[in-house]
Structure 1
Amino acid sequence: MYAETDWRLTEDGAGPLRFGMTLTEVARIAGPLSSREEQGSDCEHRVATRAPKNLILMFNDERLVRIDVGQPDVHDDHGMHVGSKEDEILHTYRDRKIAVSPHPYLDEDGHYVTVFGRKPDRRLVFETEKGVVTSFRTGLNGPAQFIEGCL
């Protein structure tokens, strides 16, 4: 089993997991995967038994494309986490392209803070409410920007 610090999110994945890995490769590294499949879709969400339970792994066509975090015990590789301030994100990633957009469900109280990866097909998206991170995710460009999981 990996220590919590080994599971920091990066633009390439989390801990030993990398985007593009197959379900089988992820299970070999992170243990059996629970299933949370989306109806009528090639997209599904899973949780690995040997990874932090609050890491939600998104697979599309059986390949890892996104990782979501909704609890404060997992950080990104710059120390950002659920509970970080929006201003901290903007300062921490000031050397990267950042887009701040309104949260579709929170009006002026919420934002999506999207950090563009050093690799052009990668994104890190922080959801904030009243200036505080409530969840975040990393992934390939398209899936990282989906609002409702696989949609």
Structure 2
Amino acid sequence: MARNRAEAAKRDPVDLSAQPITVNGMGPLRIGMSRQAAERAVGARIPDGPGGPECRDLAVEGGPQNLSLRFSNDDDRLVAISVLSSTPASLATASGVHVGSTREDVLATYDTEVTARQDEGTSEELVFAPRSAKFHGRIITFLMNDDGTVSSFIAGERSFADPLPCGSD
């Protein structure tokens, strides 16, 4: 394992800042791949860190600020990719939605495949769930600010695509 991480560090790292994010991954990163495979794919280390009982949100060394990769604790595989607030607009979905996009942008972009949900006292979430069978179980959840703009978003497996960090209630 140490040898593979050393090999990843020797290659030129992939610039993730301009890679589009989809329900299936981001650039060379694919939902379902192991952390070891993800490190090889991006040419950089993804150091371990704290998390919750089911997952950990980790950053790529030298990667874009506020980009987080969510790995499951059970098998250390990539289950979601998260873009946090205050990120450059280049960190966007394949359709161009990014932090700061409006609610109307999200609804117009994803049309009938997006639903809104909001629990009392929480921020609105817009959930894009593509209907095509090849995307089954994959979603993008957009967390909205009170002013109607996207504050963050997370793409990946439905059970892990919650905008709250791993370990949050």
Question: TM-score band (shorter)?
Answer: 0.7 to 0.9
Tell me if 1:114 matches 2:127.
Answer: yes
Q: Quote how far apart the aligned CAs of 1:35 are.
A: 2.3
Q: Give 1:67's match in structure 2, choosing from 48, 60, 81.
A: 81
49-58 or 61-70: bigger deviation: 49-58
Question: After alignment, is 117-126 or 139-148 more displaced?
Answer: 139-148
Which one has a bigger Cα radius of gyration?
2
Match of 1:52? Answer: 64
Corresponding residue number in structure 2 for 1:24: 36
- The structure richer in helix per residue is 2
For 2:24 and 2:107, locate their aligned partners in 1 and report how far apart those are by CA, in whole Å. 20
Residue of structure 2 equivalent to 1:91: 108
Deviation of the 1:97 alpha carbon: 1.9
* RMSD, aligned CA: 2.0
Long gaps (5+) in structure 2: 1-12
Percent identical among aligned pairs is 26
Q: CA 1:68 to 1:103, structure 2 compared with 1: closer, same or farther past 3 Å?
A: farther
| Equivalence for 1:38 | 51
Contact kept? 1:11, 1:124, Cα under 8 Å = yes
State how far apart, in whole Å, the 2-side matches of 1:103 and 1:86 are: 17
* Alpha-carbon distance between aligned partners in 2 of 1:103 and 1:126, rounded to the nearest angstrom: 15
Query: What is the rounded CA distance, in whole Å, between the counterparts of 1:104 and 1:49 in structure 2?
Result: 38
Query: Which residue of structure 1 aligns with residue 143 of structure 2?
Result: 127
Q: Normalising by structure 2, report the TM-score.
A: 0.77
Aligned residues: 145
Could you tell me how far apart the structure 2 residues matched to 1:55 and 1:15 are?
13
The structure richer in strand per residue is 1
